[in-house]
Amino acid sequence: MASRTDYENFDLGDFTLSGGATLRNARLAYKIYGTLTANRDNAIVYPTWYSGRHWENEWLIGGGMALDPARYFIIVPNMLGNGLSSSPSNTPPPYNGPRFPDIRVQDNVRAQHKLVTERFGIERLVAVTGWSMGAGQTYQWAVSYPEMVPRILPFCGSARTSRHNIVFLEGVKGALTADAAWKDGWYDQQPWRGLRAAARVYAGWGFSQAFYWDQVYKEMGYSSLEDFLVGFWEGFFLDRRDPNNLLAMLWTWQNGNIGNTPGFDGDHIKALRSIKAKTIALPAEKDLYFPPEDEEYAVKHMNNAELRVIPGVWGHFAGGGANPVDTKFIDDVLKELLAS
């Protein structure tokens, strides 16, 4: 897909991160779908996921869908580090490349809150929703701004990154950084070998065992297993996904924990209990790194939450928009939540 410029930038100014660093002249790239009502009461925030760009969220937006631009003002903020918002790849020296500071989910949501309140004057949202790391940001919105967020639908994600999930990501990082061409992040040319290796590591995790058993990739237009590994997975990682950007977002992911919100002293249970939003937690049945058990656990510690499970063999990518059946399932649940 060609690079797209159909978005706007919100100037975050000198944005001090929770870790203490200041990202100077920081920016949040975002795209709007729909029109804000006069009394500003129809906004939904729908953050991006690991390496995703706003246009890769669009499959869940459309006429007749829950996220209908004719009715809602849908804001898709690009995650810091994704190459459009401030990222290792687009920040000028000296904070460029591997010197780009660590970003927490809290920082992302604080930046998004500035956008929502300062640019649009919105005081209360209709809902927040998102896939994967977008689900993590969704939870964070409910913890950071409980009075602003009446409804959340985090799908295929979690409020705190589990240890196993951290280990899965260690494998992705290990493969990418094993390539000497990576040069500790000071590469002139992309470390292609490492990127492709990371893609192959990811391939086993993104879809379930049953997805591969059933050769569902053939329904997606891939002619063989190897064609899927190269065509889908390597292609995915080569689609302008800069290694330092990937590593920055990976750090954000590994360190995801709503308990690190100021006032919660690292206690994610306390943070889960603080959530006021009506919540439908929506993991996928065979998701290998955000398994349903983890969300079952989260829901148990929340006051106004229920668990639904996306059935089927797509695993994590049930929430990626490529399977119409799963998309309809998510859309239906989102409609239900928005109607409540």
Footprint of its own copies (CB under 8 A) = 162-164, 166-168, 170-171, 173-181, 193-194, 196-205, 208-213, 215, 225, 229, 288-289, 291, 293-294
Q: How far is the CB of 240 from its own copies (least distance, A)?
A: 20
Extract the runs of DSSP E, i.e. beta strands, from 205-293.
Answer: 278-281
Nearer to its own copies, 53 or 196 (CB): 196
CB of 68 to its own copies, least distance (A): 36
Least distance in angstroms from the C-beta of 205 to its own copies: 8
Annotated catalytic residue, options 132, 144, 158, 208: 132
Give CA angle at 71 (70, 76), nearest 5°: 85
CB of 290 to its own copies, least distance (A): 9
Nearer to its own copies, 4 or 164 (CB): 164
Contact between 208 and 315 under an 8 Å Cβ cutoff? The reply is: yes
Minimum CB separation from its own copies for residue 51, in Å?
Answer: 17
**Choice among 107, 158, 316, 326 that is catalytic:** 316
Cα(202)–Cα(231) distance, integer angstroms = 14
Q: Which is nearer to its own copies, 242 or 294 (CB)?
A: 294
Query: Per the residue annotation, which of 287, 294, 326, 331 is the catalytic one?
Result: 287
DSSP labels, 107-161? HHHHHHHHIIIIIT-----SEEEEETHHHHHHHHHHHH-TTT-SEEEEES--SB-
Within 8 A by CB and 6+ apart from 231, the residues are 222
26: amino acid identity, one letter:
A
Question: Which lies closer to its own copies via its Cβ, residue 10 or residue 222?
Answer: 222
The answer to whether 287 is a known catalytic residue is yes
**Closer CB to its own copies, 293 or 306, in the complex:** 293
φ/ψ (deg, to 5) at 338: -70, -30
Strands 22-33 and 73-77: antiparallel
In the chain, DSSP assigns E strands to: 8-16, 22-33, 43-45, 73-77, 127-131, 151-155, 278-281, 305-307
Is residue 132 among the annotated active site residues? yes
Please list the active-site residues: 132, 287, 316
